[in-house]
Amino acid sequence: MRYSYNIFSRVLLFAFLVSINGVIQAQNDCQCSVLDNSKENIKNVELNDSLGLFSKINPLKNSNEKICEFEGLDLEFKYYSNLKNNEQLLSIIESQEQILKLLDCPLKKTRLTLNKTIYYRAINDYEKLSEFAFKTLAASQKLGNTQTQIEAYKHLVFLFTRLNEDKKRWHYVKQAEHHIYSNEIKIPNYRWLSYQYENEFTKTERKTLIDSALHLIESVKPLAKKQKNYRELTLLYRALEAFAYHDGNLPLALTNIDTAIYYGKQIKGAKNLSGLYLSKAWDHFDLNQLKEAEQWTDSMLKYDIKNDIGGYMMTLLQAAELYEGTGNTEKALTSFKAHQKLKDSLLKIERISAINELETKYQTELKDAELKLKDSKINRLTILVIISILLVLAILLITKVRQLRKAKVVNVALQNAIDTQARLEKEIVNVRENIAQDFHDELGNKLARISLLSNLIQKDTKKEKTSITTKVQQITEDARSLYLGTRDFIFSLKSNSDCLEEVVTYLSDFGEDFFSKSAIKFQLKKSIDKDVKLPFYWSKQLIYIFKEAMTNSLKHSKCTKVILSFKFEADLLEIKLTDNGIGIDAEDLRSENGLGHMKKRAEKINSELQFISTQNDGTTVYFKGKTT
């Protein structure tokens, strides 16, 4: 019996020792001894420094320890992620999965899930990105790994930024913010958070966000300089450039972006500075240094690595806007076409989703509008009933207390209110009719003409090419005219189009672009002490009047100079378009066509339009109107 007991005890002891040894062995399997000895050296190596980084990666990958091989692959993953080499990223992920099949390391499995998140973000698979980002977040919360939680939040913020889900984006920014302030890693996290503050500022214009972002950058900038962390210094000064730009200090913004470019060039190995060149191009553009803006836009496209398709697509769109602003329409069109091609190939799923969301939103808004209209009718009926009852009571009281004079005053006031309401309703009807008529004139006629010319081209295909070429040119001109007219119409419907400064900017931009391809010199003069809000419907008529006036100057005046001037004083707006051309014939001044239509537009807004012209001594189109 004792013999059996001893055997049983020894078996239990052996099993216990084996289990303890297994736990210790499992723990050892999750720690790389090679990495422990060189962790500080690896931390100081930049991701772009391929020579320095692979001198640390190779010993890890060649180690007999599987976990060291995993860590080496993880460093290699960060390197190729920085280079946007997606094929290599997928290969590394597959190798790490094979290693973790042999090891039970929850922390490393969470790291692998994070790497998958990074990979699906790189290839723009947003469905998989969301799946693995939430898996990473759940696993890191369970393990209490703060930095991995922050990284998961960063990817979720990126996801909802791309999906234009601002509420969800800001929710996860605030979640990350809580962990960032309590985390030991400061520089990249503070820099990322400052970018999110700046992004939120562009949507809400809350000045405190920029102040908070600036505080974060300044708090870690000395540390980055001490560590000679050129990558982070580049990004920090890029953020400072954005803050100076929002503050209206363009010279300081230009200085900061130059500093960012300087530090960017210090980064070892491959790097992509096109984003910095883009910011510098915009700074020059806003300083009206158009030549420099175009040159830096060229540099941006030349040096962009182009392996981040989503980023390069946005770069092309920015380039198109810059080239258009600097007057190089050929480059603008080329960049825009390239952007559209990438957008069509990359964002088909997103576009369909966005359309469905817009449709759902439209249906919801339509139902809300119907409910509001129904409620409004009920409220009006209730008000009318109440007013009727009050009137009856008032008549009874007036009869009793003989307050005839007071009753007359009340009746007059009521009649004035009714007349005012009727006048306002009539004005609303007139506005709607004018909008409908203008839209019909601008859109319907041009579309009809384009359709007619297209039919004629089909019939002339067997005739001489000259006839077809002429009609194609006419179609192009009508299409461009239709586009410009529609753009003017849409601008006039925007709420900010009622601001005088917006109208000045719109007409001056049109004039500069319109006369840029001719020998006519265009000049803007304005005497406006403050920005004022114009009455409704003014902006549209002013734009149509003076665009027509500029067109007449270009086509008929044979002038060499055109001056557009604005003056606003004591609620009186005066606008003049003056050229030094041959003038207008007296017969044309009396004509109802062209000039007569311009006068009718001024009359629609209760204003006056005069044409002052002397033979061979130029023409002045003079608008005068009271804004009150």
Per residue in 304-318, pLDDT (tens digit) is 877 667 677 788 888
Query: Between these two residues, 128 and 522, which has the higher pLDDT value?
Result: 522
What's the confidence (pLDDT) of residue 378?
78
Q: Tokens representing 430?
A: 């007139």
pLDDT confidence bin for 84, thresholds 50/70/90: confident
Report the percent of the chain where pLDDT is more than 70: 77
Q: Above 70 in pLDDT, residue 325?
A: yes
83, containing H or E segment: none
Give backbone dihedrals phi and psi of 84, rounded to 5 degrees, phi first.
60, 35
**What pLDDT was estimated at residue 8?**
43
Highest mean pLDDT of the ranges 63-77, 429-443, 578-592: 63-77
Report the distance separating Cα 623 and Cα 618, nearest Å: 17
d(CA 481, CA 474): 10
**Range scoring the smallest mean pLDDT among 244-258, 288-302, 339-353, 533-547:** 339-353
Find the mean pLDDT for residues 402-410: 77
What pTM was computed for the model? 0.48
Q: Which of 255, 264, 262 is nearest to 283 (CA)?
A: 255
- pLDDT by residue (tens digit) across 461-492? 655 556 677 777 777 777 666 666 666 666 66
519 secondary structure, DSSP code: S
CB 221 within 8 A of CB 192: no
Domain ranges of the chain: 1-30, 35-272, 273-346, 499-626
What φ, ψ does residue 428 adopt, rounded to 5°? -65, -40
**Residue 295, pLDDT score:** 87
- Mean pLDDT across the stretch 591-618? 87
Instruction: Give 609's strand partners.
Output: 623
Say yes or no to pLDDT of 74 above 50.
Answer: yes
Q: Does residue 342 surpass a pLDDT of 90?
A: no
Domain 273-346 has CATH 1.25.40: yes
Of the listed ranges 103-112, 417-426, 550-559, the least confidently predicted one is 417-426
Report yes or no: 81 and 118 within 8 Å, Cβ to Cβ: yes
pLDDT at 46: 64
Task: Specify the CATH superfamily of domain 499-626.
Answer: Histidine kinase-like ATPase, C-terminal domain (3.30.565.10)
Spatial contact of 241 and 214, defined as CB atoms under 8 Å apart: no
* Statement: residue 394 has pLDDT above 90: no
pLDDT band at 328 (very low <50, low <70, confident <90, very high): confident
Q: Which of 7-16, 31-40, 80-89, 113-122 has the weakest average pLDDT?
A: 7-16
Which CATH class for the 35-272 domain? mainly alpha
DSSP-assigned letters across all residues of 404-432: HHHHHHHHHHHHHHHHHHHHHHHHHHHHH
Q: What is the pLDDT of residue 496?
A: 67
Q: How far apart are alpha carbons 574 and 526 in whole angstroms?
A: 10
233's CB contacts (< 8 A; 6+ apart) are: 221, 224, 225, 260, 263
Closest CA to 277 of 253, 256, 255, 301: 301
- pLDDT value at 580 more than 90: yes
User: Is the confidence at residue 121, as pLDDT, over 80?
Assistant: yes
CA 4 to chain centre: 81
pLDDT reported for residue 443: 66
pLDDT average, residue stretch 401-428 = 77
Q: What is the mean pLDDT of residues 384-392?
A: 89
Task: Give how far Cα 441 sits from Cα of 39, 474, 482, 566, Å.
Answer: 73, 18, 10, 28
Predicted pLDDT at 462: 57
Q: What local confidence, expressed as pLDDT, does residue 447 receive? A: 65
The answer on pLDDT for 369 being more than 70 is no
Strand pairing of 619-626 and 521-528?
unpaired
Mean pLDDT of the chain: 80
* Letter string b/e over residues 138-155, b meaning 16 or more CB atoms within 10 A of that residue's CB: ebbeeeebbebbbbbbbb
* pLDDT for the residue numbered 19: 41
pLDDT tens, residue by residue, 161-220: 888 888 889 999 999 988 888 888 788 998 899 889 888 888 888 889 888 988 988 888
Topology match between the domains 35-272 and 273-346: yes
Residues whose CB is less than 8 angstroms from the CB of residue 482 and which lie 6 or more positions away in sequence, other chains included: 442, 443, 446, 447, 450
Looking at the DSSP assignment, which residues form a beta bridge with residue 626?
572
Question: What percent of the chain is modeled with pLDDT above 90?
Answer: 24
